[in-house]
Amino acid sequence: MSVRCLVKTVGRSFSGVSGASLFKPDALGSRQVTVIRVDFFIPGVETVGGFSICSSPGLLRRERAIELAVKYTRHPPAQWIHTECSVGSEVALRVGGQFFFDPQPSDPARDLLLVAGGVGINPLYSILLHTADLLGQTHTGGYTPGHTHLCYSAKNTTELLFKDTILDLCLEHPDKLSCNFHVTQQSSEIEKRFQPHVARGRIAEEELRHCVHPERTLCYLCGPPPMIETVSSDLQRIGLSEDRILFEKWW
């Protein structure tokens, strides 16, 4: 079942990415909030879009809103968001899929490894925000997160979406959240404020090895299919079982 939504804000961002905040009625149940991918229906556009939510489930509970960050392509729904979407536009969403992080209060703490390539950061950023929210609720007797580490690769630092907020969260929770950024086609000097966190080149198996405990780590991957296949193979060589590797591919 799809739910009607109104566009609340539209932001023309950088690196060909636009953001949209969607105001939602209460028709979406709390269990579904943790599902990270949505089908996107636009009146007058025959093609159905499929986008990943980049906001925390907490935003929906607090403000009845979700956020999307969509890279420009000629795919009709993405093109519509970049060229026609405006405040007050009406769309419909349908949630689904099995790519989500929804720990229950009684669950044992898990360490998370989040590995993102390009705009594959969107659902993993949502998980990171959700984890940060959970860290602020541990005094209420809810789920206690383990350690979460993000490995995020893009062409250059300009295309590292959400990097400032990610670094702020890691500074706010230094014992629980950490991150490494990778750039593969950086032609300029890396800004000093990012230098300790940014490495040139792809995410290497050795780095993953330091982030994985075979019995405690759950890994979420999102990015281009070749990256997913490479990282998944690396993780299994390290000793992480296939059922602990969850992924979403984009094309």
**Residue 193: CATH number of its domain:** 3.40.50.80
Asked if 141 and 205 sit in the same domain, the reply is yes
226 and 130 together in one domain: yes
Does one domain contain both 139 and 55? no
Same domain, 194 and 146: yes
> Tens digits of per-residue pLDDT, 152-162?
999 999 999 99
Determine the pLDDT at residue 37.
83
Distance (Å, whole) CA 225 – CA 228: 5
Given a cut of 90, is residue 151 above it in pLDDT?
A: yes
Domain count, the chain: 2
Q: What is the pTM assigned to this prediction?
A: 0.93
135 and 215 inside one domain: yes
Which pLDDT belongs to residue 32?
A: 45
Q: Decide if 104 is inside a domain.
A: no
Write out the residue range of the structural domain in which residue 57 sits: 3-99
pLDDT (mean) for 99-128: 93
> Do 138 and 28 share a structural domain?
no
- 31-55 mean pLDDT: 84
pLDDT higher than 90, residue 220: yes
Instruction: Answer with the one of 66, 99, 132 that is the final residue of a domain.
Output: 99
Question: Domain of 34: which CATH number?
Answer: 2.40.30.10
* E strands, 43-176, in order: 49-52, 65-71, 90-100, 111-117, 148-154
Q: Does residue 143 share a domain with residue 25?
A: no
Averaged over 118-147, what is the pLDDT?
A: 90
User: How large is the average pLDDT for residues 152-180?
Assistant: 97
pLDDT at 250: 57
pLDDT at site 30: 46
In terms of phi and psi (left: phi > 0; alpha: psi -120 to 50; beta: otherwise), the region of 62 is: alpha
How far is residue 131's CA from residue 23's CA, in Å, rounded to a whole number? 23
Residues 56, 145: one domain? no
Same domain for 115 and 95, yes or no, is no
Distances 151 to 43, 127, 183, 197, 221 between C-alpha atoms, Å? 37, 13, 11, 10, 10
Name the least confident of 61-70, 76-85, 194-203: 61-70
Residue at 94 is within a domain: yes
Q: What percent of the chain has pLDDT over 90?
A: 71
Mean pLDDT of the chain: 90
pLDDT of residue 248: 77
What's the average model confidence in pLDDT over 172-194?
95
DSSP state for residue 189 in the 8-state scheme: P
Question: What pLDDT is stored for residue 31 in this prediction?
Answer: 45
- The verdict on residue 148 lying in a domain is yes
pLDDT at position 29 is 52
Are residues 165 and 134 both part of a single domain?
yes
Residues 137 and 168 in one domain: yes
pLDDT per residue over 5-31, tens digit each? 999 999 866 678 888 899 875 555 544
